[in-house]
Amino acid sequence: MRSPGFLPPLLPLLILLSLCTGCITPEKWQVYKPDALPVRKAVQPMPASSSGPGDKAPGPEEDALNLSVENAVLLALENNRDLRIKRLNPVIAGLFEQIEQGAWDPELFTTLAVENESDPDPDDEESALSLTTGIRQKLPWGTTLEGSLGLEDVRSGGTPPEDSVRGGLSVTQALLRGAGPSVNLAAIHISHLNTLASRYELEGFALMLVGETEIAYWNYVLAQKEHTIVENALAVSKRQQDEVRARIEVGILPDNELAAASAEVARQEQALISSRNQVADRRMRLLHLFHPGSAAHLDRPVTAVSSPYIPPVPATKLSDRIALALATRPELKETDLRLRQGRLDTMVTRNGILPRLDFFIDLGINGYGSGTGRAVRNIDDDAYDVTAGLSLSLYLNNRAARARHRAAVATLDQAELARENLAHQVELEVRLAAEAADTARKLIAAARATREFEEQTVQAEIERFKAGTSTALLVVQARRDLLVSQIAEARAVINYRIALVRLFMAEGSLLERRGLSTGGQMSLP
């Protein structure tokens, strides 16, 4: 077919354009930009210190781990095994994003074919050798460009060999299904959103880990304080037992007074055993959050050095706390990204309902000769070919595509309802946590006043006992009430610290308050 005169200068330009498309990468296409989201930095190892966990199992001579609440959090972020596993999720998601981008890499292709046609007449035998090589590139607008160079050597009995060379450029443009960058780049954007969502998931896990570590630390502090209170109470009970025994020996008190004092000593010894078990239990739970290595590390002694006493402050500005939670909670951010993924899915499935209608054009220049070199030199002759047309394909009823679209729409509706429900749940958590923190704050003063009054009661009962107007049983009961009030005060102080941790977790500000998140970017040690 003879082509119009404008084709000779146009073809080299089009072929050059097709080859240059190999330099275009999806990362440079400014077609669809997701909203800017903070990039989460990976957790870096914390420098080793003398107070940190070692690589070998602890022995009996190993020193106690002097641990502040800040160091406990840093050790948990560095060594927690579950967090190590979670850190790989963004890496894996990022690799899937690269897989989707790889679908837009230019493709080199080569085809080698040998054809032989035999015939009883040797003059009619024919053989052909053809080689075609080229490059193919998909563009986000639904365009496929292909540049190729083909060589063919035909030999027929009784005739001289004839070679042909063809350089071609074909362009295929989708007009309905698969047209437009929004649809064609959707898979990349969905993978990108999935990568960001996995980072928010990692941040949410880090938030829970920090909160869980602080709560475990304060529970261990409380167990130690209760154990100390019980130890002191046991020592006081033994002194009282000795005093009662001495008074009985000199005839001041009757023999039956010793029973109450001895029973109290036995009771406190039992309480000491329980408190010692509770200290060990909470120590191992704390070490489990951040101690690497074998279970032998769980036997390492821990000395908590952070004081739980802080000025109690009312949990005010509830509306601001709720607004902060709705803006910063990682699970809400992750849900928002999932919603955007759902909207992209519906766009893709809606496009999939359309029939396939493509426009195509194939341009070629040809050269012929008795050898490959002559055929290449003859390519300047006016031998061109042009093929253009439309290609249409569609499914009758198209039930699969319509079902996929309905499923995507239903999934999106479900996700929107779930997001709304999650927002209500977050608001409820903030309100409950704020109320719990305020209640815990008020209980500190009440518990302190109770303990002070119980101390006065014990002192008065002791004076009456010395004067002979009271009994050992009444003194024991007064000391028992004092012990209960001392433990209640310690619990009130610790519960206030724990309530604050839960409040900061509910409003999503715990990481930032601990210096682990600044400016919207998570920076874990």
Max Cα separation, the chain? 144
Q: Pick from 214, 211, 475, 207: which is nearest to 334 by CA?
A: 207
* Residues contacting 127, CB < 8 A, separation 6+: 114, 115, 116, 117, 154, 155, 156
Q: Residue 339's pLDDT is what?
A: 94
Q: Residue 369's pLDDT is what?
A: 72
Question: Order of strands across the sheet with 143-156?
Answer: 107-117, 126-139, 143-156, 162-174, 356-369, 384-393
Q: Residue 381's pLDDT is what?
A: 57
Q: At 124, list the tokens.
A: 């009619």
Q: Residue 184's pLDDT is what?
A: 92
Rg (alpha carbons) of the chain, rounded to whole number: 40
Q: Residue 254's pLDDT is what?
A: 87
Q: Residue 121's pLDDT is what?
A: 63
Q: Based on the number of CB atoms within 10 Å of its own CB, is 518 exposed (0-12), middle (13-18) or buried (19 or more)?
A: exposed
Q: At 523, list the tokens.
A: 């920076």
> Residues 368, 347: contact at Cβ < 8 Å?
no
Tokens 């396939």, located at residue: 356
> Residues 141, 29: contact at Cβ < 8 Å?
no
Residues of the chain with pLDDT under 50: 1-11, 13-61, 518-525
Q: Pick from 129, 53, 97: which is nearest to 301 by CA?
A: 53
d(C-alpha 195, C-alpha 187), whole Å: 12
* Eight-class DSSP state of 124: G
* Residues contacting 225, CB < 8 A, separation 6+: 490, 494
Tell me, what amino acid is at 288?
A: H
* Residues contacting 33, CB < 8 A, separation 6+: none
- Assign 25 to helix, strand or coil: coil
Domains of the chain: 7-24+105-139+143-177+356-393 (no CATH), 193-343+402-517 (1.20.1600.10)
Q: Pick from 313, 276, 298, 382: which is nearest to 65 by CA?
A: 298
Q: Residue 336's pLDDT is what?
A: 94
> Residues 140, 26: contact at Cβ < 8 Å?
yes
> Residues 386, 1: contact at Cβ < 8 Å?
yes
Q: Pick from 139, 166, 164: which is nearest to 150 by CA?
A: 166
Work out the mean pLDDT of the chain and round it to a whole number. Answer: 83
Report the predicted TM-score, pTM, of the whole model to 2 decimal places.
0.76
Tell me, what amino acid is at 449?
A: A
* Residues contacting 300, CB < 8 A, separation 6+: 53, 58, 62, 64, 65, 287, 291
> Residues 156, 164: contact at Cβ < 8 Å?
no
* Residues contacting 173, CB < 8 A, separation 6+: 141, 142, 143, 144, 179, 358, 359, 360
